[in-house]
Structure 1
Amino acid sequence: MKYKYPIILVFVLCTSFSGWAQDSVTVNLNSAPFQELVRVIERQIPYRFFYRPDWTDSVFVTISAQQEPVIRVLERALEGTDLFMSINERNIYVTKERPLLTVLPDDFFDQGVTSENTVPFDYSAYEKQETTRKIAEEKTYFIGTRTNNMDGKATLTGTIKDIYTGETLVGAVIYNKETSTGASTDHFGHYSIALPKGKHVLEIRSVGMRTTYRHIILYNNGKLDIELEEAITPLKEVLVQADRDVKVASMQMGTEKLDIKTMKQIPLVLGEPDVMKVVLALPGVQSVGEGTVGLNVRGGATNQNLILFNDAVVYNPSHLFGFFSTFNPDVLKSAELYKSGITADYGGRLSSVLDVQAREGNLKKFTGSGGISPITGRLTLEGPIVKEKSSFIVGVRSTYSDWILKRIMNPDFKDSRASFYDITANINHKFNDTNSLQASGYVSNDYFKLSGDSSYNYSDRNTAIKWKRIINSRLFGMATATFSQYSYTMGAERNPVNAFRMGFNVKQFTFKTDFSYTLNDNHSLSAGVITTNYNLSPGTMSPHGGESLVAHNKLQKEQGQESALYIGDDYKVNDRLSFYLGLRYSLYQYLGKRDVFVYGNNEVRDINAVTDTVHYRAGKTISFYHGLEPRLAMRYLLSDNSSLKFSYNRTRQYIQMLSNTTAITPTDIWKLSDTYINPQIGDQVSIGYYKSLKGNIEISVETYYKAMINSLDYKDGAVLLLNHHIETDVLHAQGKAYGFEFLLKKPTGKVNGWVSYTYSRSFLRTKGNHSSETINNGKYYASNYDKPHAVNFISNYKFSRRFNFSLNLIYSTGRPITLPVAKYYLENANRIYYSERNAYRVPDYFRSDISLNIEGNHKIKKLAHSSWTFSLYNLTGRRNAYSVFFVSENNQIKGYKLSVFGQPIPTITYNFKF
């Protein structure tokens, strides 16, 4: 008797379903939207539909039915789509990719089964079977309003997402082999591709995701959203499908796209993936030495790189002397490095753009990840706020040990302290299919105190708010507001009489709008406007404590306004030849309130040559600069798997970093262009050859030449901190850089990685009206970051799904230095005579790193998944010279080499996900 009432209930439901399904309707529609079919049916019979409009916006119905059962009408209407229909109690449910489960399994009421030994029905197996049987790849999608006129082309648009997290995929590729036409998703995850009307098979792929296909019949412009799942393949098979053909066919050159999976392929130095270390392993990118901050890209200075995080500027991209980047790897989505072929929407720096984007957060379920090592700990949480509509992600990372400093072979460091933390937060909300909002925030802070008296504290913080709107199938728009701030403080307290605090601060407010428009099959336009306001406090000095005799000292504040508008056109001439034509026009104002010193004509610019002081009120324009920045790129397909590319770009930089050290330091200051310090201007020409080989191997060769004016150098003995007459110590230089880059890359497979070689030269020439403003007699000399040869070898070997081994080999020429070459006696004192600037070099640099990653078992039903990473930094223990210094001993000058990390540094990290 205990099953009597359930059986009756099921019988009633089944018979009711049968009766309801027999209700008949009359329908006559021709290429009508699905919503029209819903209205026709609901007017005739008392049924109510439940469905998501974005699932049916590309469904158009052509049907003629005279008093046919509603279930048969709906089956005919949805035939050929990935939509399914279920009816229950006069409610019609339209679902995607699988129907609602309305019939209980046959063995649900098996007799003799007690509650103690009941085995739950395997719904996952049922759903997997349904998904496999009704996989979207086997369906034909009808796109656009149906018509008999199949001449011409139509545009297919949509969004590509991760099926498990709901996050959009940046850089995913949709490709039609028959027409050799492809497109990739933008930062929104949107794509747009023009195809001839008719039947097509589309291939969709993304790094780390399973390649999928869609069969479509394209009638007119329409939309097709696609979801990809993570690739899980046998060990002997290719791990991920590369977009090698698309890289050959794309317009971009000198560009590298990275995601977190690529970052994990190189040795996890000090236990965690690091986007800056991956960038440094690419051809054309170097740093001046170990334990340094910043990138030198194609012979450019470290301050000539625009580093963006969620579209907001980052001024200092590293923690702990450059050993960690400020970007928490667990929150990163992608990174793009532009070395050449910089599109017109980017500007403000001469050498490169590094655009880093964070993930939006899981839209479907709550998850977390983190890691613990002797140096750092990190934790990231993410999940839906409103399922399928709003999500968040928050990542926290910090040091809790000074263990790494105690490994430095220098007794002065053993009593030092160093720590950092960073917090990243991102919230996303999707209002509807065409509007979404993203808000992100980032805080980074470093503190260190060497064994001496001085302590340093510096921080980066930024926020960004982005509104994305799909205006129509051809037009996309985004409005972005960002705030960035970098500041540092330096202090000393040991001696109360000399105790002080010194600080610097730069703030940047930016607002921009960007639009992209697909004009037709051959033209894709982009345009936008951007404006940035700068506020700088160049330096303050104040006494610390009541006993301090340090005098107050404060530099005048600086303010500037930079604006730009741009337009670009991706122009496809034919199947082989394509162009990118871009034009950017930038304007800059240096604004008051400020006192400007006037120096005598034809005199050496120093404090004794000041003849007048001009006062400018707040908001008054002191200096005004402007100019065009043309951008040009060309791609010619030599064959289906090889291409030749060319690019030219001019860039202007209105804010510069003042530093007379070879690497970025916490006490470096940023300075706006003014009456005496002109904006830097750079022109770069690049030519490249790209080819895809069998075995999923890519080869690229690029050569470039770069010319720069108004680069900065400094007089001998220049004082940059708290200098009220900074223009007297800064020199304008003419620069040139040229080089050659080779990359052999195997991005996928059991063994993957790359080897690169870079030949790069970088020179400056400073020739003023006076000898004190001229260096090396006006001849070209090597810049501080001129390192002619560099070789990087990255290899990743996957023993099994659980064991992964990585090896990293780095070689580069030593950086230039200026050395004392003689001693002479003058005016009763010994004097040192130095060589020409940067005439010598420190010894060459070599380092090898290894890491072993051990994954936990791959059981699905686990509370958490974990892995262990064992890494060894500087495997050979080589003492690479960072610098050379000299001391006088026994009336003789002796030289010494300083090595930052002169022995192997092991690290073990425990990583987890739940």
Structure 2
Amino acid sequence: MLFISGFGYGQDNSSKLPLIEVLTSIEKQFNVKFSYAFDDVNTIFIEAPNPNLNLSETIEYLNSKTLLNFKVLDDRYITVSVINKMISICGRIITENNKSLLFGASIVVNNTNNGTFSNTEGVFSFKEIPLNATITISYLGYKSKQIKASLLFNEANSCSDIILSENNEELNQILITKFLTVGLQKRLDGSVVLNTEKFGILPGLIEPDILQSIQALPGVESTYESIANINVRGGTNDQNLMLWDDIKMYHSGHFFGLISAYNPNLTNKVIVSKNGTSSEYSDGVSSTINMFTKDELSSKFSGGAGLNLISGDAFLEIPITKTLELHVSGRRSFTDVLSTPTYDNYFDRSFQDSEINTNEDIENSTSSSDFVFYDYTAKLLFDLNGNHKLRANVIGISNNLDYAESVTNSSNQTNSKSSNLSQENLGFGGHWQAQWSDKFSTKLIAYYSKYNVDANDLRVETNQLLTQANEVLETGAKLNTHFKASSNLNLLLGYQVNETGILNETTVSAPSYERTKKDVLLNHAVFTEAEFKKNGTYLRAGVRVNYFQKFEKLLIEPRLNVRQKLNQQFALKLEGEFKNQSATQIVDFQDDFLGVENRRWILANNSNIPISTSKQGSFGIEYNQNNFIVDVTGFYKLVEGITASNQGFYNNFQYLNATGNYTAKGVEFLANKTHNKYSTWVSYTFSKNDYKFETFTPSEFPNNADIRHSVSLAFNYNILDNLEISVGGIWHSGIPYTKPVEGNETVQNGNLTFVNYDTPNSENLDEFKRLDISLNYNLSLTDKTKITLNLGVRNVTNEANIINRYYKVDPNDNSKAIQIDNVSLGFTPNASLRIKF
């Protein structure tokens, strides 16, 4: 105890004695008895009082030199109690191994919402906290430590050293703790962690929207300004594997892509991997977006609620017993009750090119539409004991659009019809995590995921009912076994099985027509990998073996992730992976859902729809000095087995069936400077992305997602301790599009007329540019209640960015083609008010 007190916190006690020893000496000298609680005095050191003082003078000395109250009851007894007062403390956090300062460590006063982070010198302070308070200090990759505030108090107001030791159980620890903004962190394997609970702000955002936030990373774009079209290094959105607590999700956004469908309030962290993924994951040839909810018992009732200009939400963490806890959250739009400018902008942007906005073409017609979305999550946490944990989860996501139209004929008779579009994703899952020994642990996972798009379109002018459905059902199980071979080496061996069934159905009432197609695919996989870290070397190498029972097809996928530190500033990194994907989305312009949703999931059949495979490699160099980071990475990606119907061509290939590949290669650059009061960064991506379809002429042409140049920059600044501003901009070159042949814009085939497109993707839209701004204000009402106000504006300068262009035959002159331009969000303000308790 004396060693810890004397050296662990860096206090100089060489000339001081333990208070208990001093009190024993005084008791013998004056024949008195002190009455005290052992915990109140056992860590206090003072200089011994002058032996020539009398008893009254000695008591006065003790009161002046300690934060205790010494009260004389009578000639024999003296009580000792803790003074109920506020103190100021200061600490400096250093590592045990190399005595380096820890920047960005989290310091929280227990049982309150009072917390802070250590600055660049590893220093933190609190001005007024209770004397008997306990603080918890945590830093990813290091063991958390709890300390009594009284130990950090001294009259000289100097900072006491606090030593944190490494947590050797987690090899792949955080490399950079504050990356772009608070709550974004970079790991040794190159993946990025979004910590939603500690997240700061990004330009234009009012909350840590998961899929909006990751677009701040280089190489992550959205060609159509939509999270439903996130392009990672040139890939399509369906090539991103999305997992929510190990449940595979087939749906990503509300408002058909403008808002993330995943409520961030119970999401603990999100890990985004562009390359070098663990062999544990597959089924996404472009990237892996892994979302985790809180997984530890908090043992206290807490929650929060929020409201913005589109929706409201709430979440609760409810302890049931010491070992059982329930976490729930819910969010719903109120747009069916109240229309705001933000909702109007989102609605116009989402449905600008759909049947909902074309009713005015029908004479004497009126129409109305009603759009609602909601999502909910629930998680049950049960700790059987210290070594066995059981978790069960459910997530539900829903978008619902009702559309009504009426036509008045020449006899003043009104015919009213209605249509509906429903989009839902429901997931159930759970896992059992067991620590069998200090070196061996297992995790058994099971899940069920169901995705549905259903549309009913009753058209007034033809009295025709069109019913459509796209359904995905997937069940899966996975067993991971971890073996800690040494403090530097972890081994993983696992097995996964999943069955996927996909249904596509279309029925028409007049004339009567029905088409139903259902496919089922069973996949087995065995995977293994080794993860090693020592000094400046990090290595993760593995392999995944996939077997598709229906096709008797075997796919072997090696994975590699290496980072080698050259010195204190520079490091080299090498990443590579093979991956596959059996479920993809096709874009069907003829058989879409009310013109709003034209994508539907389909399953590989190993003939005209092959299993997609990818081969990806990247190499880069990192510089990290004084919280200034420079990262340059070159990448190459080849994705084979894509289909023409998967790409959404607006050209002569629009209705053709073919398989091909695309090749994306380029360079990503990021420079980021962080400080305890500000963070600023600039990123640039150069990418060349080309298709190759052997049966097309020409066989090679630019990819629909070919954005050659992309730049983003931002600046975050803490104006006050509780007031932060974020300003940033995005610029990128326009995506490719195809023009009609000049002078011969249409071509006729029988009774049908089509646009006669020229060379595919030979033209580019104008450059895209947008300036965003956000403001964040925090107010603590009590120690446990906190209010947050966020203001954000997207597209401050109201740029009319064209994000997509295509052509259709002019209904008034079928020899001409009409140009259709889809425009991005204009000036769009939003605000949110949140309370957390």
Report the TM range for the smaller structure's normalisation.
Answer: 0.7 to 0.9
SS of the residue corresponding to residue 502 of structure 2 reads strand
Q: Which position in structure 1 is the counterpart of 2:494?
A: 528
Please state if 1:587 is matched with 2:541.
no
TM-score (norm 2): 0.72
- Provide the residue aligned with 1:267 in structure 2: 203
- Tell me which of 627, 639, 657 is aligned to 1:730: 657
Instruction: Write out per-residue CA displacement over residues 663-710 of structure 1, whole angstroms, 9 at most, x where no aligned residue.
Output: 99744222222141221111111101111122x121111111112221
1:765 alignment partner in structure 2: 692
Say whether the 8 Å CA contact 2:583–2:604 is kept in structure 1.
yes
Which residue is equivalent to 1:258? 194
Deviation, structure 1 residue 557: 2.0
* AA matched with 1:373: N
Say yes or no: does 1:744 pair with 2:675: no
**1:882 and 2:803 aligned:** yes
Match of 1:279 among 183, 204, 214: 214
Match of 1:318 in 2: 253
Question: Cα–Cα, structure 1 residues 871 and 576, in superposed 2: closer, same or farther, change >3 Å?
Answer: closer
Q: In structure 2, what is the equivalent of residue 803 of structure 1? A: 723
Please tell me whether residue 466 in structure 1 is matched to residue 438 in structure 2: no
Query: How far did 1:288 drift?
Result: 1.6
Mark the CA change 1:716 to 1:385 in structure 2 (over 3 Å): closer, same or farther.
Answer: closer
CA shift for structure 1 position 503: 1.1
Distance 1:560 1:163, change over 3 A: farther
Q: Which residue of 1 aligns with 2:381?
A: 428
Of 613, 624, 627 in structure 2, the residue corresponding to residue 692 of structure 1 is 624
CA 1:358–1:806: 2 relative to 1, 3 Å: same
Superposed, 1:809-820 pairs within 5 Å as: 809-820=729-740
Using the TM superposition, give the Cα deviation of residue 795 of structure 1 relative to its aligned residue in structure 2, in angstroms.
Answer: 2.2
Decide whether aligned partners of structure 1 residues 836 and 523 sit closer, same or farther in structure 2, where only a CA change above 3 A counts: same
Question: Who is 1:560 aligned against?
Answer: 521
**Structure 2 counterpart SS, 1:303:** helix
Q: How does 1:380-779 map to 2 (within 5 A)?
A: 380-387=315-322, 389-401=323-335, 402-403=339-340, 404-407=342-345, 408=348, 412=357, 415-449=368-402, 454-495=419-460, 497-541=463-507, 543=509, 549=510, 551=512, 553-572=514-533, 575-590=535-550, 623-659=551-587, 666-676=597-607, 677-694=609-626, 696-714=627-645, 730-767=657-694, 774-778=695-699
In structure 1, distance between residues paired with 2:94 and 2:572: 37
Contact 2:805-2:822 within 8 A present in 1 as well: no
Secondary structure class of the residue paired with 1:834: coil
Seen in structure 2, the aligned counterparts of structure 1 residues 372 and 283 have a Cα distance that, compared at 3 Å, is same
Question: Hey, what's the Cα distance between the residues in 1 that align with 2:287 and 2:723?
Answer: 36
SS of 1:557's equivalent in the other structure is strand
CA contact (8 A) 1:823 1:833 kept: no
Three-state SS of the structure 1 residue aligned to 2:238 is helix
Alpha carbons of structure 1 residues 368 and 211: separation in structure 2 relative to 1, 3 Å:
farther
Which amino acid is the alignment partner of residue 739 of structure 1? Answer: G
The AA in structure 2 aligned to 1:878 is E
Q: Which residue of 2 aligns with 1:908?
A: 831
Cα deviation, residue 304, structure 1 = 0.9
Which of 727, 742, 756 is matched with 1:822 structurally? 742
- Give the Cα separation in 1 of the matches to 2:294 and 2:498: 25
Structure 1 stretch displaced more, 728-737 or 828-837: 828-837
| TM-score of the two chains, using structure 1 as the length reference | 0.67
Identity %: 21
Q: Closer, same or farther in 2 for the Cα pair 1:870/1:626, shift >3 Å? A: same
- Per the alignment, residue 3 of structure 1 pairs with none
Structure 1 position 463, deviation (Å): 1.4
Q: Which amino acid aligns with 1:475?
A: F
The structure-2 alpha-carbon separation of the partners of 1:583 and 1:140, relative to structure 1 and needing over 3 Å to count, comes to: closer
Asked if the contact 1:784–1:816 (Cα under 8 Å) also holds between the matched residues in 2, the reply is yes
**Structure 1 stretches lacking a partner, 5+ long:** 1-70, 73-85, 99-103, 112-120, 142-159, 173-188, 194-201, 225-230, 232-237, 544-548, 591-622, 720-726, 768-773
Classify 1:740/1:541 alpha carbon distance in 2 versus 1 (closer, same or farther; 3 Å): same
- Pick which of 473-482 and 897-906 moved more: 897-906
Give how far 1:390 is off. Answer: 2.5
Conservation of the 8 A alpha-carbon contact between 1:361 and 1:382: no
Provide Cα deviations, 1:328-369, integer angstroms capped at 9, x if missing partner: 121111111110111111111111100011124762321121
Structure 1: how far apart are the matches of 2:536 and 2:831?
50
From 774, 778, 794, the equivalent of 1:851 is 774
Cα 1:685–1:395, aligned 2, differ >3 Å: closer, same or farther? same
Change in Cα spacing, 1:93 to 1:731, as seen in structure 2 (3 Å) is: farther
Give, in angstroms, the shift of residue 866 of structure 1: 1.6
Amino acid at match of 2:344: K
Distance 1:124 1:333, change over 3 A: farther
Aligned to 1:842: 765
Provide the secondary structure at the position in 1 that maps to 2:344: helix
Give, as a single letter, the amino acid of the residue that structure 1 aligns with 2:620: G
SS at 1:559's partner residue?
Answer: strand
Query: Offset of 1:519 from its aligned partner?
Result: 0.9
Which residue type is aligned with residue 451 of structure 2? Y
Q: Residue 213 of structure 1: CA displacement? A: 4.5
Contact 1:467 1:478 in 2 (8 A): yes
SS of the residue 2:241 aligns to: strand
In the TM superposition, residue 416 of structure 1 has moved relative to its aligned partner by: 3.3
8 Å contact 2:181–2:199 — kept in the other structure?
A: no
Q: Deviations over 1:175-216 (max 9, x none)?
A: xxxxxxxxxxxxxx99999xxxxxxxx8989xxxx9994477
**Residue 501 of structure 1: how far off its partner (Å):** 2.4
Cα 1:108/1:300, change in 2 over 3 Å: farther
- Partners of 2:732 and 2:385 lie apart in 1 by 52
Q: In 2 relative to 1, CA 661–634 (structure 1 residues): closer, same or farther, beyond 3 Å?
A: farther
Q: Secondary structure, in 3 states, of the residue corresponding to 1:730?
A: coil
Distance of 1:797 and 1:716 partners within structure 2 = 41
Choose 866-875 or 901-910, whichever is displaced more: 901-910
Deviations, residues 399-447 of structure 1 (Å, cap 9, x unaligned): 1114345333869399433210000111211121111111111000001
**2:721 is the counterpart of 1:789:** no
3-state SS of the aligned residue for 2:455?
strand
User: What are the ranges of 5 or more consecutive residues in structure 2 without an aligned counterpart?
Assistant: 1-19, 22-34, 45-66, 75-80, 98-105, 119-137, 147-158, 171-176, 359-366, 406-417
AA at the equivalent of 2:321? V
Count residues in correspondence. 683
Does the CA-based 8 Å contact 2:710-2:733 persist in structure 1? yes
- 1:891 CA displacement: 7.8
Q: Counterparts of 1:500 and 1:241 in 2: how far apart (Å)?
A: 47
- Does the 8 Å CA contact 1:395/1:423 hold for their aligned counterparts? yes
Tell me by how many angstroms 1:841 deviates. 2.0
8 A Cα contact 2:711 2:732, kept in partner: yes
Cα pair 1:462 1:485 within 8 Å, conserved: yes
